[in-house]
Amino acid sequence: MSRSLSISVLGVTLSALMIAGCSSEHNPVAAYPDPTADFSMSGERVSPATISFTNLSTESDVYQWSFGGGATSTQEHPQAVFEEYGTYTITLIASRRATGRSDSYQRQLTIAPGRVFLESVEVIEIPFVDSRGAGWDNNGTGPDLQWDLTDVNDDILLSSRTIDNVRPADLPIPYTISPSYELDDNNSINLYDDDSPLGFEFMGGVSVAIWDWADANDYSENWIVDTNPNVPSRNVQLRLVVRWR
Per-residue confidence (pLDDT) for residue 231, from 0 to 100: 85
Element (H, E) at 215: helix 210-217
88-125 residue pLDDT tens: 999 999 999 999 999 999 999 999 999 999 999 999 99
2-32 residue pLDDT tens: 333 333 333 434 343 333 444 445 555 567 8
Contacts for 52 with CB less than 8 Å, ≥ 6 apart: 41, 42, 43, 77, 78, 79
CA 169-125-118 angle, to 5 degrees, is 115
CATH of domain 31-111: 2.60.40.10
* Cross-strand pairs, 205: 190
Which is more confident, 235 or 27? Answer: 235
Which is more confident, 13 or 133? Answer: 133
Question: Whole-angstrom Cα distance, residue 92 to residue 105?
Answer: 5
Instruction: Specify whether domain 116-244 bears CATH 3.30.960.10.
Output: no
Per-residue confidence (pLDDT) for residue 9, from 0 to 100: 36
User: Is-same-fold flag (31-111; 116-244)?
Assistant: yes
**Domain spans, the chain:** 31-111, 116-244
Per-residue confidence (pLDDT) for residue 26, from 0 to 100: 57
